[in-house]
């Protein structure tokens, strides 16, 4: 059991196959709410706020939060709930956290969903941009530093303002700590071929944050995986196209369950 984990605040809905829906950066569990009514009849959904995001406490004195730290918190949550094995579906940074979990705790993972996510590490330019953003947040504040970000996250004009508000409700210190953690996350591309549980890769065809090639690459390297491309969806496809996103995940849950009963 890892040390220094943080007790995560989470929502729980439905019964059956345990599925953890992990949010991305710099957001919280509420991004998944549009798919909850569609998925709750089919699974036990657990929606945590990662450390320091939403209502979850931040790690005390932590100035850089790594993907592994956030994966360890999820392990502690599964232990607390008495769940031996869960499906982890992570959006973007949540996918990086799910991959860190897959590497550290493969026996606790019953399925992996990479939703608008990738296995590749940051290129040097991206790493630099993250450090610049962290610096801007410190010097000029979150509202200035995230200017234009909500527009890149969603393909739906009417969602830009709610997404912007959600970003602004996050703790600037935690946003900085996770930028640093993402910048130094290891490349997990090589790891993909050792993940043997079922996997699904979901990509929004209008994703302005992540090129489709990254999703295609992850899908090719995972042992047992398929790719779902969602039209008219940006990076936040669960908000942009909840029905199509829920459908992709439901089919995935169904496949896992059919496989378990074989």
**# residues contacting ligand MLT (CB under 6 A):** 7
Residues 97/77, Cβ–Cβ less than 8 Å: no
Tell me how far, at minimum, the Cβ of 130 lies from ligand MLT, in Å: 7
32 part of the interface to ligand MLT, by CB under 6 A:
no
- Counting contacts by CB under 6 A, is residue 149 touching ligand MLT? no
Does 182 bind ligand MLT (CB under 6 A)? Our answer is: yes
**Which one of 5, 56, 65, 92 is in contact with ligand MLT (CB under 6 A)?**
92
Least separation in angstroms between CB 126 and ligand MLT: 7
* For ligand MLT, the closer CB: 44 or 91: 91
**Residue 56 binding ligand MLT, by CB under 6 A:** no
Query: What is the β-pairing status of strands 199-204 and 225-230?
Result: parallel
Under rule CB under 6 A, residue 5 binds ligand MLT: no
- Cβ atoms within 10 Å, residue 1: 7
Measure the CA angle with vertex 142, ends 141 and 147; round to 5°. Answer: 115
Question: Residue from 10, 25, 53, 101 that binds ligand MLT (CB under 6 A)?
Answer: 25
Q: Which is nearer to ligand MLT, 111 or 181 (CB)?
A: 181
> Residues 109, 102: contact at Cβ < 8 Å?
yes
Which ranges constitute the DSSP H helices of 61-205?
67-81, 93-104, 124-140, 142-145, 149-153, 160-168, 172-183
Note whether 167 binds ligand MLT by CB under 6 A: no
Establish if 209 lies at the interface with ligand MLT (CB under 6 A): yes
Applying CB under 6 A, does 146 fall inside the site for ligand MLT?
no
Q: Please give the Cα distance from 50 to 24 (Å, whole number).
A: 9
Minimal CA–CA distance to 23: which of 42, 9, 38, 7? Answer: 9
User: Which residues of the shown chain bind ligand MLT in the complex (CB under 6 A)?
Assistant: 24-25, 92-93, 182, 209, 235
């Amino acid at each position: 059991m890892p040390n220094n984990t943080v007790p995560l605040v989470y929502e729980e809905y439905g019964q059956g196959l345990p599925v953890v829906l992990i949010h991305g950066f710099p957001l919280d569990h509420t991004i998944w709410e549009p798919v909850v009514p569609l998925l709750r009849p089919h699974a036990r959904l657990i929606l945590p706020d990662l450390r320091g995001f939403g209502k979850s406490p931040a790690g005390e004195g932590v100035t850089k939060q790594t993907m592994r730290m956030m994966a360890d918190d999820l392990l502690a949550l599964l232990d607390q709930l008495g769940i031996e094995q869960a499906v982890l579906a992570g959006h973007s940074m949540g996918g990086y956290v799910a991959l860190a979990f897959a590497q550290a705790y493969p026996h606790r993972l019953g399925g992996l969903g990479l939703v608008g996510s990738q296995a590749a590490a940051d290129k040097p330019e991206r790493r630099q941009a993250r450090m610049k953003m962290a610096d801007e947040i410190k010097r000029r504040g979150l509202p200035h530093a995230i200017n234009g970000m909500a527009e890149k996250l969603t393909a739906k004009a009417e969602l830009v303002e709610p997404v912007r508000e959600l970003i602004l409700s996050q703790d600037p210190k935690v946003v900085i700590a996770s930028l640093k953690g993402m910048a130094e996350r290891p490349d997990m591309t090589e790891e993909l071929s050792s993940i043997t549980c079922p996997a699904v890769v979901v990509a929004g065809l209008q994703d302005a944050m992540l090129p489709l090639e990254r999703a295609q690459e992850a899908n090719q390297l995972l042992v047992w995986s398929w790719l779902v491309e969602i039209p008219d969806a940006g990076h936040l496809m669960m908000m942009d196209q909840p029905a199509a996103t829920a459908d992709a995940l439901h089919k995935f849950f169904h496949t896992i369950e059919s496989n378990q009963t074989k």
